[in-house]
Amino acid sequence: MPLERSAAAPRGRPPHHYSPGARPSALNTDPDTKTAPAGRWRFWAAAYALLILLTGTNLPTPLYRGYEAEYGFSPLMVTLIFAAYVAVLIPSLLVAGTLSDAVGRRSVLLPAVALAALGSLVFALAAGTEWLFAARILQGLALGAASGPLTAALTELEPSGNRRKAALVSTVASVGGLGLGPVLAGVLAQYAPAPHVLPFVVEFVLLAPAMAAVITLPSTRSRTRWRPRRPEIPADMRAVFATSGTASFLAFAVIGLFLTLVPTYVATLSGSTNLLLGGAAVALMLLCSALAQLLGYGRPARALEMVGLPLLATGLVLLALAGALSSLILLLAATVIAGTGQGLAFLGGLTAVNQAAPADRHADVLSSFYVIIYLGVGLPVIGVGFLATVAGLLAAVQYFAGFAALLCLVMLLVLARARRSISPIPSAPNTSTD
């Protein structure tokens, strides 16, 4: 799930879209195939591919409750299945960006889309828990390999060279896929036959145009050789990275909770078995996050974090109270407020890290930042899943929400102190959303 598109370019430099592990400056697009008249449809085809890949990785969200009943596993197993996806996504993300710079976008994206199709096929044929693990691993490898190259391709293919537009389309496609997956799966599973098969058959079919879009990408050649590298943080920005990385870790821990256990939490509170209801709650949270990022763009990075963190904490407290009071109204309020806080905290953290990073180290720094984010998505929910097997789902979500809210407030105090002791991070310039 790559939501990195909202970061801003450093002040004083031409805006450019940076993606984890991708170095566009190392890439030379073949003049004979560079976008011009054909660039517009190629641009939108690449956006479609990104949207559909992210849609597929989030189709299982409203279906986990059914898998629990069918295969007889606990909420802990749900979170382990989700964590397996994150565990392979991170190394795939770090390797594929620089690899696509060296060998070309198509050479990385074609196998990535093929892996996504294979993951959907494994889900459709699933006959046990091990099938679910295999399918999620395939999806993690696919998305990790595709997200950086597709994001870079959108920047390169935007016909007028408008990188702000390219970044905005990347953001909409990414968040759109995150939200569309649970809704699409919820609708099909609730109102159509074969609830654990049809959503993935539809995804398999939708991936065919995505594969065609990748095949039509322009040829590229590299001026550098590919070599694996590990993320590194320059010494003079480690304080900014630590505070913003921690804030974003907390923000994405909430995303992980919503993608794994909140649909079942919603069903438990409402007493409804309607699968669309849980998927819609996830989609609403992500929609509020996206809108908050769009509205918050251009504001000072630290100010965004200091508004986002208390909103996130408030949403988490309401989430816990919704379970205690069995209130769907509180659950709705929690979803909207937590989503808004998540979007602002993430945008502020990403902007702060992006602007503090040295010009020649952006890819390294952002790769490290996204490792932190995906760890936030995958690790905390394992603890929640373990707690749910011991104390029950409602109690586990309430404990997590209360503890995470407390950590948000602690981080708010840390940021307030840091704001007084270091020079402020400037606001994002209004010429780019990278």
**H-helix or E-strand containing 317?**
helix 301-325
Summarize the chain as % helix, strand, coil (round to 5).
75, 0, 20
Query: Do 38-217 and 236-422 agree at the fold level?
Result: yes
Q: For the chain, how many residues are written?
A: 434
**H-helix or E-strand containing 247?**
helix 238-260
> Per the structure block, which two tokens stand in for 426?
């400037």
Q: Residue 139's pLDDT is what?
A: 95
Going from N- to C-terminal start, the domains of the chain cover: 38-217, 236-422
Residue 410 to residues 109, 313, 369, 407, 420, Cα–Cα distance (Å): 41, 10, 20, 5, 16
Q: Among 269, 261, 198, which Cα is nearest to 64's?
A: 261
Q: Residue 360's pLDDT is what?
A: 60
CATH superfamily of 38-217: MFS general substrate transporter like domains (1.20.1250.20)
Q: Residue 39's pLDDT is what?
A: 65
Residues 20, 21, 24, 30, CA torsion sign: negative
Q: Residue 401's pLDDT is what?
A: 93
Q: Residue 131's pLDDT is what?
A: 96
Architecture of domain 236-422: Up-down Bundle (1.20)
- Average pLDDT across each block of 10 residues of the chain; the chain has 434 residues. List them in order: 41 38 40 49 88 92 88 87 88 76 80 95 95 96 86 76 67 79 90 94 95 82 62 81 91 88 84 84 89 85 92 95 89 94 88 75 66 85 87 89 94 84 48 38
What is the amino acid identity at position 209?
A: P
Q: Residue 324's pLDDT is what?
A: 87
pLDDT tens per residue across span 137-172: 999 999 988 887 887 787 778 777 766 567 667 767
Q: Residue 16's pLDDT is what?
A: 39
Q: Residue 279's pLDDT is what?
A: 85
pLDDT tens per residue across span 326-339: 888 999 999 999 99
What is the amino acid identity at position 211?
A: M
Contact 62, 275 (CB under 8 A): yes
Q: Residue 219's pLDDT is what?
A: 67
